[in-house]
Chains A and B, each alone.
Chain A
């Protein structure tokens, strides 16, 4: 990646100084790893793209029946299947980016123990697959919206922001988890449990309006509350503006998660090759 006549000095602690420059220099590796993961994902599963559609669809069905029909939860005027599916999108993005990035370092152990590159490339490039899955199910959401005669307004333009928020939250937690995964090899059993737990702690199967007002602030500490509510608002626009407190809190916790995750990841990164 470097030019002819390039000089490199290796010393203890020196890698930190050029880390971000290296990250930029290795950007092509980032593209290639993301490209590899996408290729493999859609080659490996026999039903390929169908899988990306089937998962949120089936979950939508179950949640609609359980929360909408059986528990008769309010849906703020939006058809219940749409209410659920619009939340499934950011949630799936978050969950699969988190799971993929958590396992990414272990999955690429042979690379890490043999080749140098900024390790941050591994968890980030892996989660790109989740974004592609997201785009595919977004098409399905568009089709569902048409079916239910829900047409997008200017609010739909804010969708990238909510996507970014979900992705940021996933990366923040993902950085923590993948570093912890290397350090404590049994941590990977904890991740699926946390994700499962999060599905019910986030307003996926129901609207967050059912959470009592006094707990709303506490509830919004979960960054996915702001992201999911915001995404729903962007798609259906049931209120004039998104819930500012939930959004603000979501952005704040995501920032804290990301900053902490990055710091922790960078801190343990130099030992990866020795431990993995």
Chain B
């Protein structure tokens, strides 16, 4: 038996979060002026610079698993579960804090297609540049140049700066370079999230071919459908730990049913001075705050008021991960009288077919007097839930962010006679 392709032994990665960058981890850099200001303040107060509160955060904690040669393995988990950190360590962008990984074979990672593309350079120049960045030698790129160009279908535009390319051409070219890398181990992170359907099919074909040739593929995606399609085994990460590992179908099922019984709820004690929202619940179609696109979903809101209200109104939005309100729904006292006496009521709103597209959503709601009047209470980002396309087949995988919702429609085809 040959050695494993990747062997991960009790891997851990720690990040240190200071109070400042806990809020927004994207902007976690320090400004020199802040450091200097702190020091000066420290000198003046003679206490020494106040050290910002540093908190440890283990993005990965005691992760172990083995990937054999020729395996196609999927990595799933919610946002922040440690998937990207794992990929970053595997592709050597960052070092592990603990544990050890043994990799047998050349690794290529497609963390994002087109990395290193320069808009001013021509298609030809970018092929060479990108190839070198991805680890190909000059000779290798030259050998495969024609294949890459043919795969990307950009023959006519080889001498055009890529800034004049359409986004489709750009992505095709970028993926074509990456697809011709011929590594023994290929790490893919949602690269397929771009390009048109035709091209996506081509990419999936290429990935299948890669794994049929006995090479190892590590695939990370939010799309349960393409994970099921492309991988035979999967690892489910949760909060930096391995929650499940095994055949893809089983792991996907575990992922979807995970967290059963603990519905995410918003609770707040009733305010005795003013009307308030005391509870929010979202009943998703699946347990674990998973909602399958097209199935019913139910929203429950408990409102409390210490005094009788005249003409209250209530509204809520379903907000996408990009903070855009995708759905806004409301009800008024004039339609259904609410809290005309002090006390507590529950508002229930049911959507029989939630057509929102896959992605993460949360609930933002408002409790107020009729529009223009006083706002009693509002809650933002409550009860996050995730919409997945699981179980809905189509010929190419679902890509995150490709639309806002799916409309119901009837298709028919009519023959057109040419006279």
Contact = CB atoms under 8 A, between A and B. Distances in A.
A5 B104 contact: yes
Contacts, number: 125
A40 B138 contact: no
A55 interface: no
B101 A115 contact: no
Contact of B31 (A5, A39, A182, A184): A184
Contacts of B132: 28-29, 31-33
Interface in A48-84: none
B105 A5 contact: yes
Given A8-B103, A12-B97, A43-B120, 7 more contacts: A10-B90, A10-B102, A115-B115, A116-B92, A180-B32, A184-B29, A274-B28
B376 to A, nearest CB: 42
Contacts of B135: 1
B153 interface: no
B91 A183 contact: no
Given A10-B96, A12-B96, A184-B31, A4 B106 contact: yes
List the 6 closest pairs (A to B, CB-CB), nearest first. Answer: A184-B32, A116-B92, A32-B132, A10-B101, A8-B103, A114-B111
A185 interface: yes
Contact of B102 (A7, A29, A114): A7
A274 B94 contact: yes
Contacts of A33: 129, 132
Interface in B56-103: 88-103
A110 B119 CA distance: 14
Interface of B: 15, 28-33, 35, 88-107, 109, 111-112, 115-116, 118, 120-121, 125, 128-129, 132-135, 137-138, 184
A214 interface: no
A59 B242 CA distance: 63
Interface residues of A, number: 47
B32 A7 contact: no
Mostly helix, strand, loop or mixed at chain A's interface?
helix
B93 A114 contact: yes
A274 B15 contact: yes
A8 B102 contact: yes
A12 B120 CA distance: 38
Interface in A1-55: 1-15, 28-29, 31-33, 35-36, 39-40, 43-44
A273 interface: yes
A267 interface: no
A186 B116 contact: no
Contacts of A182: 29
A7 B137 contact: no
A86 B373 CA distance: 76
A142 interface: no
B216 to A, nearest CB: 13
B184 A115 contact: no
A179 to B, nearest CB: 13
Contacts of A44: 120
Given A115-B109, A273-B88, A9 B101 contact: yes
Interface in A233-276: 270, 273-276
